[in-house]
A and B are shown apart, each in its own frame.
Chain A
Amino acid sequence: MIELLLFWTCCLTAVAGAIGAATVRNLFHAALLLGLCLSGVAGLYLFLEAAYLACIQVIVYIGGVLVLVLFATLFSADIMGRTQRPVWWLRLLGIVGGALAAVVAVRLLQVVLQHGRDLAARRNDSGAVPDLFGGSQDAIGDLLIGPWLVPFLLAGVLLTVALVSAVATVQRFRRPVERARG
């Protein structure tokens, strides 16, 4: 029952975040809603028995790509769009929602810490390293250095080319003063 509830919460988070990110006028809020959508999808990955991928999603996508998008919002002339003061019931809803989210976050932290303690205890009993992600990361690694070796190397080349060309593009458009200073 609680599993079903969590599943539909993840679905709702992903869908609502996506629709909000596509339609909200304020660009900064759109980027933040994209983060909400991405965390919902990370939850769905957990239901698809892809815990390793869920971690990657949170670390690389939310922690890396989303931060770059938030940086990019600073280039906009009016980040906040035509901001209106929120009506009182919307503000009340926000406060209640924030409080609920804080409760959930604290509970989640407790569960995670307890899980870590359990894992450590089991490790002491048997001496073996416990399987944290259900084994999918082993299979992914085997695939990456096996049948997927060429795409894996190409991904490395792609990332290198992307970073070098990003730096080169930025260098071309620096102000003359900055260029003279080096």
Chain B
Amino acid sequence: MAEFGPDALAAYIAVAAVLFAAGVLAVATRRSAIGVLVGLDLMLNAGALQFVAYGRFRRSGIDVQGQTAAVFVIVVAAAEAAIALALLFAVYRTSKDVDLEQTRELRS
């Protein structure tokens, strides 16, 4: 139990792996741009969780640099969400839907 619980690295890495795999699945299989956006957020979150987990279980004790890196991941996610919303608006205005299979061009 000691290797797989709140006081060991393995469980966190496993959760992050599942999150990343789910994100890749969503990005690869979703036809709607919103599904892809959800998948991207899942992958970013998995990365942030890895940063914090590895920083927490350093051999030399807890390392706060992992948490600082996770803060930057959250900043990137915020920027990504703003850009994605603007792009979705543009796609919606040109083709009345955000289906990535049908979207061919982006011109006003």
A residues neighboring B (CB under 8 Å): 3-4, 7, 11, 14-15, 18-19, 21-23, 27, 30-31, 34, 37-38, 41, 44-45, 47-50, 52-53, 56-57, 60-61, 64-66, 68-69, 71-73, 75-77, 136, 139-140, 143-144, 148, 151, 155, 158-159, 162-163, 165-167, 169-170, 172-175
CB of A8, distance to nearest CB on chain B (Å): 9
A140 engages B67 (CB within 8 Å): yes
Q: What separation, in Å, do the CA atoms of A162 and B34 have in the docked complex?
A: 19
| B contact residues around A175 at 8 Å (CB) | 93
B79 engages A162 (CB within 8 Å): yes
Q: What separation, in Å, do the CA atoms of A169 and B90 have in the docked complex?
A: 7
Contact of A48 among B12, B42, B79 (CB under 8 A): B12
- What string of 1s and 0s marks CB contacts (under 8 Å) between B54-71 and chain A? 001000001011011011
Name the residue of chain B whose CB is nearest to the CB of A21. B38
Within 21-62 of B, Cβ neighbours of A (below 8 Å) are at 22-23, 25-26, 29, 32-35, 37-39, 41-42, 45, 48-49, 52-53, 56, 62
B42 engages A45 (CB within 8 Å): no
B residues neighboring A (CB under 8 Å): 5-6, 11-12, 15, 18-19, 22-23, 25-26, 29, 32-35, 37-39, 41-42, 45, 48-49, 52-53, 56, 62, 64-65, 67-68, 70-72, 74-94, 96-99, 108
B34 engages A50 (CB within 8 Å): no
Q: What separation, in Å, do the CA atoms of A27 and B100 have in the docked complex?
A: 14
Q: What separation, in Å, do the CA atoms of A42 and B18 have in the docked complex?
A: 16
B32 engages A76 (CB within 8 Å): yes
A143 engages B15 (CB within 8 Å): no
The answer to whether residues A75 and B23 also contact, given A53-B52, A144-B68 and a CB cut-off of 8 A, is no
